[in-house]
């Protein structure tokens, strides 16, 4: 390995997995007061995937991880670090990362979960890169994995229409100059923590008959306020990340945003003066898969030939917390 490049860190492989079961807008018409047209015009979503009764979050993660390992042509024992981004783990503890490590045979990997909601994969990617730069870790995997279908109220048309299940994985490798992070921007605003939440199940409201009866174990969201926040903060943060990289909006070859809502993506594109052809959009197929959405979209963008060598790729996300994050990659 060239000594000059020994500390460079780049993306070596990607992969994703989505459950087989498809839930279309027409299926939702049968269980909640909504229509296909209403969902499509307000969200851009046409269908989403839901996990089978036998699948847990770690199962989705392991299948995405297998594909990333194959893509990178890496033995599982080479992985030094595994970070799982999720807020729907298999259990409160042990971590889903440790369970996934065992399933994939990554016996040499240090493992932990990271909770930053829909921004989780962005946070994990930068945390992994930072740890690799300051340690002996040579190869890391981050996986965003979620099973939202078990935490939505299927009678609440404002939330159940939005979310889908899935997992996406990214492998980072030291000594690889190309496909590397060149700048970032992150932030949090806890004063708006109540805008997206699951009220019960933790230490504040432990599970009781009343919390179950009151549907406090389902996701709650103030959609209009989240929309305003996301539109403003994603544009602001993308600009900051570009400035740190000494780049401008004109330098963006592909923007890969968190796949939350088509209206948000179009508003962000307009503010950044980007044509929709430069925005990776796949939410029509999968809905909002939270921390999994960016790794899934990245892998699809690669497989569809939307990214070429030397391109500037920007990853941008927002989520509960509230959190946000942007990463600029030179491919």
pLDDT of 187 over the 70 cut? yes
> How far apart are alpha carbons 299 and 301 in whole angstroms?
5
pLDDT tens digits along 117-126: 999 999 999 9
Q: Which token pair is 13?
A: 């492989």
**Are residues 215 and 295 both part of a single domain?**
yes
The domain spanning residue 42 has which CATH number?
Answer: 3.40.47.10
| Contact of 64 with 143, CB cutoff 8 Å | yes
Cα 257–Cα 262–Cα 193 angle in degrees, nearest 5? 65
How many of the other CB atoms lie within 10 Å of CB of 243? 12
**Are residues 96 and 188 both part of a single domain?**
no
Q: Which of 93, 247, 104, 255 is nearest to 171 (CA)?
A: 104
Can you give the pLDDT at residue 12?
Answer: 98
pLDDT of 43 over the 60 cut? yes
Residues 6 or more apart from 250 whose CB is under 8 A from it? none
H runs (alpha helix) in the chain: 25-29, 36-43, 57-72, 96-104, 120-133, 209-213, 223-244, 262-271, 283-286, 293-303
| Contact of 90 with 96, CB cutoff 8 Å | yes
pLDDT of 2 over the 60 cut? no
Helix, strand, or coil (residue 177): coil
pLDDT of 3 over the 60 cut? no
**Are residues 192 and 305 both part of a single domain?**
yes
Q: What's the whole-number mean pLDDT along residues 49-60? A: 98
**Are residues 238 and 273 both part of a single domain?**
yes
Helix, strand, or coil (residue 5): helix
**Are residues 24 and 154 both part of a single domain?**
yes
> How far apart are alpha carbons 309 and 188 in whole angstroms?
32
**Are residues 201 and 126 both part of a single domain?**
no
How many Cα atoms occupy the beta-carbon half-sphere of 168 within 13 Å? 25
| Contact of 107 with 77, CB cutoff 8 Å | yes
Confidence band (pLDDT; 50, 70, 90) for 5? low
Can you give the pLDDT at residue 107?
Answer: 97
Average pLDDT score over the chain: 96
> For residue 177, how far is the Cα from the chain centroid?
24
| Contact of 86 with 120, CB cutoff 8 Å | yes
**Are residues 168 and 273 both part of a single domain?**
no
**Are residues 203 and 113 both part of a single domain?**
no
Domain, as residue range, for 118: 3-177
Catalytic residue positions? 118, 258, 288
pLDDT tens digits along 290-324: 999 999 999 999 999 999 999 999 999 999 999 99
**Are residues 235 and 107 both part of a single domain?**
no
End-to-end CA distance of the chain: 20
| Contact of 22 with 49, CB cutoff 8 Å | yes
Residue 326's φ and ψ, nearest 5 degrees, are -135, 140
Percent of the chain with pLDDT over 70: 98
pLDDT tens digits along 219-269: 999 999 999 999 999 999 999 999 999 999 999 999 999 999 999 999 999
End of a domain among 177, 210, 244?
177
**Are residues 160 and 187 both part of a single domain?**
no
**Are residues 271 and 195 both part of a single domain?**
yes
> For residue 106, how far is the Cα from the chain centroid?
22
pLDDT of 66 over the 80 cut? yes
Beta bridge partners of 14: 170
**Are residues 73 and 148 both part of a single domain?**
yes
pLDDT of 183 over the 80 cut? yes
Q: What share of the chain is helix, strand, coil (3-state, %, to 5)?
A: 40, 25, 35
Can you give the pLDDT at residue 243?
Answer: 97
> How far apart are alpha carbons 316 and 293 in whole angstroms?
11
pLDDT of 46 over the 80 cut? yes
pLDDT of 1 over the 90 cut? no
Q: Which of 75, 85, 300 is nearest to 173 (CA)?
A: 75
Confidence band (pLDDT; 50, 70, 90) for 7? confident
Q: Would the pTM count as exceeding 0.85?
A: yes
Q: How many domains does the chain have?
A: 2
């Amino acid at each position: 390995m060239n000594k000059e490049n020994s500390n460079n860190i780049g993306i070596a492989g990607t992969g994703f997995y989505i459950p087989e079961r498809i839930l279309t807008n027409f299926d939702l018409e049968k269980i909640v007061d909504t229509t296909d047209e209403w969902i499509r015009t307000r969200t851009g979503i046409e269908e989403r995937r839901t996990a089978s009764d036998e699948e847990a979050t770690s199962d989705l993660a392991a299948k995405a991880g297998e594909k990333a390992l194959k893509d990178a042509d890496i033995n599982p024992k080479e992985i030094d670090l595994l970070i799982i981004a999720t807020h729907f783990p298999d259990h409160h503890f042990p971590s889903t990362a440790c369970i996934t490590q065992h399933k994939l045979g990554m016996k040499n990997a240090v493992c932990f979960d990271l909770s930053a909601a829909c921004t989780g994969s962005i946070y994990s990617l930068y945390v992994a890169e930072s740890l690799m730069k300051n340690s002996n870790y040579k190869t890391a995997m981050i996986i965003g994995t979620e099973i939202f279908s078990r935490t939505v109220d299927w009678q609440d048309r404002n939330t159940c229409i939005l979310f889908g299940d899935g997992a996406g994985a990214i492998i980072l490798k030291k000594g690889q100059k190309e496909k590397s992070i060149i700048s970032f921007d992150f932030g949090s605003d806890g004063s708006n923590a109540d805008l997206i939440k699951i009220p019960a199940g933790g230490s504040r409201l432990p599970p009781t008959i009343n919390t179950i009866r009151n549907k406090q174990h389902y996701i709650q969201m103030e959609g209009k306020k989240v929309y305003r926040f996301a539109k403003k903060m994603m544009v602001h943060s993308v600009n900051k990340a570009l400035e740190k990289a000494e780049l401008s909006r004109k330098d963006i070859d592909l923007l890969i945003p968190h796949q939350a809502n088509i209206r948000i993506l179009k508003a962000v594109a307009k503010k950044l003066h980007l044509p929709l052809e430069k925005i990776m959009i796949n939410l029509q197929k999968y809905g909002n898969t939270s921390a999994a959405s960016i790794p899934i979209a990245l892998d699809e963008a690669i497989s569809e030939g939307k990214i070429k060598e030397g391109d500037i790729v920007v990853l941008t996300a927002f989520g509960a917390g509230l959190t946000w994050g942007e990463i600029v990659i030179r491919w």
